[in-house]
Every structure is written in structure tokens, then in C-alpha cells.
Amino acid sequence: MDRIEAYSAFVAVADARSFVGAARALGQSPVKVTRLVAALENHLGVPLFNRSTRSVTITSEGAALLDRARALLANLREAEQLVMGSTSEPQGEIHITAPVMFGRLHVLPVVADLLSRHDGISVRMMLVDRNIRIVEEGIDVAVRIGHLADSSLMMARLGSVGQTLVASPDYLARRGTPRVLADLARHDCIGGSGIRHDNVWRFGRNSKDRFELAPRLSLNDVASAIAAAEEGAGIANVLSYQVQKQVQSGQLVSLLQDMMPGPLPVQLLFARSRSANLAVRAFIAAMRERAARENWGDLQDQ
């Protein structure tokens, strides 16, 4: 068994969640990829994937191995680049995930500039408003907003964002402007627009004060909640950068700012092994450069 070839097949199957997809990505036959993974499983003495007629999912043993396998292959590529004298130029594909709106506003410009400067880099982005499993999904760098649990992953802080309640001037003219938290009970609050998309909004510096919604309108998309607030449907709970332009133009009005929770950190999350990859390092450096240039100390002030 060629171990490097077997580990390449293993990582490809984990990324594609399919032996056929992995074979296509590697330019090999599905039979060969299947044999390589089976040989690796036999060598290790543990199953790496759960197989069924409909799906392929990674086992706990496979998940534990995946990050190290990626590091092994990345180190091999960088060693080859060193021999070939190409270490100064980042190469390869980077897998990035970020919240939808933040990704569009603040990550895509960095990615576009990175692609224009480095012909050898390609990027696959996954913009979703949920935290996904970095190792299992094959993510190199995740942009996360909020306080993170202890993890073996590395973090790089970029800045912070604040939360805000917003409503349209028309809505406030009709229903009045809330001055204290108790006033919210008399208002239409748009459900699903909080930081965790639930119907409990938290207030106070330590987020100890709670307000439970009984929404007439609930949405699962922040952009839609903002649009609903613009149309006068009620009060939305969003992050400051998401409504910066609307507040500045007067299309939306910020409410109860002195009662909002403290700012939430904006961070990059990545495995230690991926920090050695030149393309990943280039992206992290570019994000840090943009954050420093635009003073992301608090994006609510941008």
C-alpha cells in the first residue's frame, strides 16, 4: 500500500462524502479509491467511514485522523514546493466558511484581492449562518462571530461587533419608541432575528436580562428580518454591521442601545496544522491586514 496515496484517497472521500466524488476529484477510478481506503483501514485496524447505499459518513476514528492526514499531505506539498523553489508563492485551494452577510461584506473583498494577487490560489467558500464542524467538513479557516468554547483549534481575533434593535421611523411613529425593556411587550418583535435566531433576546452587559418574544412574524434569515423591519413590520434584533447603512441613512432607527449586551468578538478559527499552509497563511494575513486598516476594533462604529 502506498500510504501517501491512501491518505490522499481518505481525505478526498471525507471532503466529497462519496467514493465516486473522491475518485472524480483525484482522477482515479472509484474501485481504486475504495481499495486504497480499505487498505488504510486494514492497516490501522479501525473503520474510517460508515458506508451505506445512500451515504458515506466519517467515523469518530476517521474524524480524529482527518486533521493529521491533512497536515501530512500539506507538509508533503510544502516540502515539494521547497525543493522546487516555489515556497514564496502560495498555492492550492482554501476552504473558508463565514456568516452569510459578514462573508459578503467583509470576506469576499479579501478573497477577491487574494485571487488577483496569487494565481496559484483557489477558494471554496461556504457562507452559512450556523457553526459547522471544521475538521469534518474539510474547512481550513472559519470566520466566527461570538464567544467560543475552549478548543484545540487556533484563533486570531480581528475585531468585534455590537448588537442592536432596529425599527423603521414609520413603525415608531405608529407604535411609539420603546424606552425600557418592558416596553417591548407592547411591540411587534420579529422572531428569528436574534444572534442565535431564537425567540429569547438577551440584554445587559453580561446578557443576564432576558426578553421572551411572542412573535407574529418569524423568519430564518437575517436579511429578510432586516427587510421586514424596513417595511415597518416590527423591531428586529441584529448585529450592528448588518444595518450600518440603513441606520446612517435614517431608513432604520437604533433602539435601547444602552441596554444591549457587550460586543461580540470576530475571530478566525483554524487548526494548528493548517497554519503552516502558505495559502491559508496568506488568507489569514490578508484578513488581519483588512481588519487593522479599517479599524475593526468595533465594527459597530464603522
DSSP, res 147:
-
Largest alpha-carbon pair distance within the chain? 74
What mean pLDDT is predicted for residues 194-199?
66
- Confirm if 35 and 43 have CB atoms less than 8 A apart: no
Q: Is the pLDDT of residue 277 over 80?
A: no
- Confirm if 215 and 190 have CB atoms less than 8 A apart: yes
- Confirm if 230 and 286 have CB atoms less than 8 A apart: no
Domains of the chain: which residue ranges?
Answer: 3-83, 92-161+264-301, 163-259
Average pLDDT score over the chain = 86
The CATH number fitting domain 92-161+264-301, selected from 3.90.1170.50, 3.40.190.10, 3.30.360.10, 3.60.20.10: 3.40.190.10
Structure confidence by residue, pLDDT tens digits, 125-164? 999 888 877 776 778 899 998 887 766 788 889 988 888 9
Report the alpha-carbon distance of residue 134 to residue 157 in Å, rounded: 17
- Can you read off the three cell numbers belonging to residue 193? 432575528
Q: Is the pLDDT of residue 76 over 90?
A: no
Strand blocks (E) in 74-203: 92-98, 121-127, 141-145, 154-161, 163-167, 200-203
Q: Which CATH superfamily is domain 163-259 in?
A: Periplasmic binding protein-like II (3.40.190.10)
Q: How confident is the model at residue 224 (pLDDT cuts 50, 70, 90)?
A: very high
Tell whether the torsion through CA atoms of 14, 15, 20 and 22 is positive or negative.
negative
- The winner for highest mean pLDDT among 50-54, 226-230, 262-266, 287-291 is 226-230
What mean pLDDT is predicted for residues 18-25?
89
| Pairing mode of beta strands 141-145, 92-98 | parallel
What mean pLDDT is predicted for residues 194-210?
76
Q: How confident is the model at residue 89 (pLDDT cuts 50, 70, 90)?
A: confident
Strand blocks (E) in the chain: 49-51, 56-58, 92-98, 121-127, 141-145, 154-161, 163-167, 200-203, 209-212, 236-239, 253-255, 264-270
Question: Any idea which architecture 3-83 has in CATH?
Answer: Orthogonal Bundle (1.10)
The pTM for the full model equals 0.66
pLDDT of residue 169: 97
Query: How far is C-alpha 169 from the chain's CA centre?
Result: 33
Q: How confident is the model at residue 194 (pLDDT cuts 50, 70, 90)?
A: low
- Can you read off the three cell numbers belonging to residue 23? 475518485
Structure confidence by residue, pLDDT tens digits, 58-74? 999 999 898 888 878 87
Name the least confident of 83-97, 98-112, 236-250. 83-97
Report the alpha-carbon distance of residue 151 to residue 145 in Å, rounded: 15
Q: Is the pLDDT of residue 298 over 60?
A: no
Domains 92-161+264-301 and 163-259 share a fold: yes
